[in-house]
């Protein structure tokens, strides 16, 4: 989190001091996602997201590698559907961090793969970013 704040400050962005609120929301997201997110026990995990959620998918892939030793790959959702999907194997796990991407999630679920979808839309980009950071640190 310190790295993210530092990078934002270098870019000239001021981060509002709402960390307690964001932490509570991250805990709430973690509790809500217990049913849809599974611990990575498969060969590989592909994490998908668009916009800021693509960066969050990349961050999540680092966390999965660090804590579980899991091979994890982050992709933009639309890019995954154009190419990497063809190399995807059923023992792998697919996780989507979505912003109104339910329709794509439903189409991908027809592949009968381990799929989790987490709706993470928030109009406040800082809130979205830090809530997800707290989600993965819990």
Query: What are the extents of the domains in the chain?
Result: 2-137
Pull the structure tokens for residue 16.
Answer: 């509002």
Superfamily per CATH, domain 2-137: Glucose-6-phosphate isomerase like protein; domain 1 (3.40.50.10490)
What gap in Å lies between CA 83 and CA 59, rounded to an integer?
A: 21
Q: Enumerate residue ranges in the chain where pLDDT < 70.
A: 33-42, 89-91, 136-138
Residue tagged 């680092």 (tokens): 62
Angle between helix axes 52-68 and 125-137 (nearest 10 degrees) is 10
User: Which pTM does this prediction carry?
Assistant: 0.71
Q: Put the strands of the sheet holding 44-49 in their side by side order.
A: 71-76, 44-49, 93-98, 114-119
**The pLDDT value given to residue 128:** 79
Alpha carbon distance 44, 72 (integer Å): 6
Q: What is the pLDDT of residue 74?
A: 92
pLDDT of 138 reads 58
> Given this model, what pLDDT does residue 35 score?
60
Query: In this predicted model, what pLDDT tens digit does every residue of 99-123 receive, in sequence order?
Result: 888 888 888 878 777 778 877 777 7
Closest CA to 111 of 76, 86, 82: 86
Please tell me the predicted confidence (pLDDT) of residue 91: 66
């Amino acid at each position: 989190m310190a790295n993210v704040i530092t990078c934002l400050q270098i870019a000239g962005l001021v981060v509002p001091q709402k960390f307690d609120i964001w932490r509570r929301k991250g805990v709430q997201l973690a509790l809500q996602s217990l049913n849809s997110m599974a611990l990575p026990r498969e060969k590989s995990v592909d994490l998908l997201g668009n916009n800021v959620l693509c960066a969050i998918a990349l961050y999540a892939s680092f966390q999965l590698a660090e804590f579980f030793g899991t091979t994890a790959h982050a992709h933009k959702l639309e890019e995954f559907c154009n190419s990497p999907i063809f190399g995807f194997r059923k023992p792998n796990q697919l996780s989507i961090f979505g912003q109104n991407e339910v329709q794509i999630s439903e189409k991908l679920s027809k592949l009968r793969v381990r799929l989790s979808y987490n709706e993470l839309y928030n109009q406040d980009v800082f809130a979205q970013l830090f809530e997800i950071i707290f989600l993965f640190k819990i």
